[in-house]
Structure formats: structure tokens, C-alpha cells
Amino acid sequence: MGHLNATALNEKGTSVAVGAGAVWNDVYGYLDGFNLAAAGGRNGLVGVGGLLLGGGISHFSPRVGWACDGVVGYEVVLANGTLANISTTSHPDLYRALKGGGNNFGVVTRYELKTFPQGNMSVNTFSYDVSQVGAVFDAFNDVAADPNFDPYVSLQAGLLYSSAAKAWSVSASAYYTKPVLHPEVYSGFEALPSISNTSSITSVASLAAENPTPPLNWLFATLTLGTSSETMLDIFKTLNGSLYDFNPAGGVTWNFAFEPLPSVMLSKSAATGGNVLGLNPEDGNAIVLLFSALWPNSSSSDAIYQQGRDTFAAIEKVAEGKGELRKFEYLNYAGPHQTPLASYGADSLNFLRHVSKKYDPTGVFQHKVPGGFKVW
């Protein structure tokens, strides 16, 4: 798909057509020149194709919703080989199913994405000694739980554990989608004793243009929590207890990123025709946890998968015990043992099955496409 990477703004500049094989660097690099942006991945090397089919958390999500909510049209090759243009007015059922339904419905060849004015933004990075972990979670939760969630916030609190060094590091990547140095909303992070604390202004395109991630083995899993720094701390203690002495051949780096999932973000989808994620703004602010492991030595893979599954089950139990586990599993962060489409709820899953049977009655995308999460 990589050659289908063209980008073209419409005449009024209100939407951009993007080839489905583009990466986000292509999109931001193009739109920056017009002082515009579209909602997409934060890392510029991630593909437009997969991110938009699974939802998509962007820097702009509290302002404009999931990245998939910003898709105003799809060009899709259907199971019978025909090329179709999908929008709210043409194939509205398929239009909604593509917003979170993954690779079950067709090969998307082009997306039409809504654009919005966007200048530079601010990048605030903090790193802390692990002794500060509880205070960092408190600062994170103060932002994430705020009923008046600041729509310019784009925040991640990160925990990294290197099995070889037996060392944790704690960080906050606190972006703000306005060019404001040291935004007030992050004063809780500023107040803590840090190892480093930087604030700078940059363009969306330069921020996305990260170095490529090393070609290591990679495991993802995810869960969604209510906003509770106490639960985050209990999760950290469980992770530490479970992972501290596990050091397979070649080592493994565990990476845990907590990200706000505010109601204000979920409230945006209704205006754009809805998605299938089954999330309700009335459920209140939440937090998505991306649980991941990276390791170089493939001979350690079985041991790491097993350790990852056991550790993940332990933290899920902690969240459940605290009454903070939500049902949603974000598809783009989900592991192979998870069932993100079922986590959307029975109504969404039945809808996805119905749409799949309508547009792909013989199950081409169920049986002939490897990978992804299937609806049948």
C-alpha cells in the first residue's frame, strides 16, 4: 500500500484526501504548509491505514474526537472487487462500521480527512526518579479526571522498566496543542522534583518526525480504567512485583503509557455520524493504558509472551478489585489474546457482523486476510 501515499487538499481547505498507504509524516508535512492539521497518529511513521480503522488517539483528540471521527469519506475496494466511495450519505452503515471495525470490511485505498487550523504546539517533557511515581500519578490524574478537561491537552505518563538494568524510569510527555511554554495545566508536573524538565515550541510535523523505532520484537496489550491515581499506583506496585526479577536472554524493556480518555473527546463522535467503539461520554473521564514490551532476542519470545500475559492478568485484577476496570479495549493497542471488538458491547458487535455479512457475504476479509481482529 506504500505507493498510495498522495495527499491533496480540497479547494476550500476543509478536508484532505490521503492515500491509505501514507504515514502520518506525509500528512502533517503537507498540512503544516497550510497551517492546517488533521487528527492522526502522534508518531509520524505510523500508518494512516491501520490507525484510522481502529480509532486513533491523536494530539487533538479532546478537541476533535477519535481520529476516525475525522474521516468524512473512504474509498474502499469491497470483497467483490468493486471500488466504492463511502460517506454518511452513501453506504452510511459501512461508513460507521469502518470507524473502529478494523480490517473486516474492505481494503481502504483513500481517506478524506477533515482539516482544522493548527499552528505550532508546545512540547513539555518531564523525567523523574521512581521515588516520585505516586506524585506523578497524582499530577496526571488531576489533569485526566478534571470534568472541565482542557481540550488542548495531549498527555502521557510513562513507566519504563529495563530488565537488564533492573531500573524503572518515570516520565510525562505533556503536549499542548497551542504554542504556550509551560502551560498552566501542567503545573502539577512542574512542581515535582524532576531529573529533567523541558518546554519548547514546535510544529506538528517536526514533533511527529521521530526516529524509527528499532526493529525489535514487540508485544502490545491494553486496558481502560476509571481516573484513579491510587489504582495507577497499585498497578505500578503489581508490575514491579511481577517483573522485577524477570530477565530473559537479551533483556526486555517494558513500557507502560497511561493516556487520558476524557468524556469531551467521546462527545465529538455524535456530530460526525458516530463510530462503533461503544463508548459513552456519560461514563465520565477514563484512562487508557498501553502495556508493551520490546526485546531483541527472539529465542526469549515465548517466555516474554507468557510473562506479559501473567503480568497483564495481574494488573487487570488489580483494576477490577478497585472497581476501576472499564470494558473498553482499544483495538490499536490490543494484544492477540484480547477481544477489542467484543469490548465495544453486544450492539456494536452485532452491527459489525451485520455489515460484514452484507458487504462481504462469503467472508473474504474473515478468511483470506491474515491479522487483525475478526468479527465472525
Ligand X SMILES: Cc1cc2nc3c(=O)[nH]c(=O)nc-3n(C[C@H](O)[C@H](O)[C@H](O)COP(=O)(O)OP(=O)(O)OC[C@H]3O[C@@H](n4cnc5c(N)ncnc54)[C@H](O)[C@@H]3O)c2cc1C
Q: Which residues bind ligand X (CB under 6 A)?
A: 1, 20, 41-43, 46-47, 49-51, 53-54, 56-57, 103, 107-108, 213, 332, 371-372
CB distance 174 to 265 below 8 Å:
no
* DSSP code, position 226: E
Q: CB of 61: closest distance to ligand X in angstroms?
A: 9
CA dihedral (59, 60, 63, 65) positive or negative? negative
Q: CB of 213: closest distance to ligand X in angstroms?
A: 5
Give 3-state DSSP helix, strand, coil % of the chain, rounded to 5: 35, 25, 40
Q: CB of 80: closest distance to ligand X in angstroms?
A: 16
CB distance 210 to 173 below 8 Å:
no
Q: CB of 49: closest distance to ligand X in angstroms?
A: 2
For ligand X, the closer CB: 108 or 318: 108
The number of angstroms, rounded, from the C-alpha of 142 to the middle of its chain's C-alpha atoms is: 21
Grid coordinates standing for 71? 474521516
For ligand X, the closer CB: 51 or 325: 51
CB distance 60 to 150 below 8 Å:
no
For ligand X, the closer CB: 17 or 130: 17
Nearest to 352 by CA among 334, 340, 336: 340
Q: CB of 175: closest distance to ligand X in angstroms?
A: 11
Q: CB of 185: closest distance to ligand X in angstroms?
A: 20
What is the distance in angstroms between the CA of the first residue and the CA of the last residue of the chain?
Answer: 25
DSSP per-residue letters across 193-224: --SEEEEEEE-HHHHH-PPPPPS-EEEEEEEE
With a CB cutoff of 8 Å and minimum separation 6, the contacts of 215 are none
For ligand X, the closer CB: 23 or 318: 23
* SS3 category, 246: coil
For ligand X, the closer CB: 56 or 183: 56
For ligand X, the closer CB: 50 or 260: 50
Grid coordinates standing for 330? 482499544
Q: Which helix (H) or strand (E) holds 74?
A: strand 71-77
For ligand X, the closer CB: 135 or 331: 331
Q: CB of 101: closest distance to ligand X in angstroms?
A: 10
For ligand X, the closer CB: 201 or 369: 369
d(CA 359, CA 294): 38
Nearest to 102 by CA among 53, 38, 34: 53
Q: What's the burial of 247, exposed, middle or buried (CB within 10 Å: 0-12/13-18/19+)?
A: middle
Q: CB of 341: closest distance to ligand X in angstroms?
A: 12
* SS3 category, 37: strand
Q: CB of 230: closest distance to ligand X in angstroms?
A: 26
For ligand X, the closer CB: 50 or 308: 50
Q: CB of 131: closest distance to ligand X in angstroms?
A: 29
Nearest to 36 by CA among 104, 158, 140, 120: 120
For ligand X, the closer CB: 105 or 351: 105
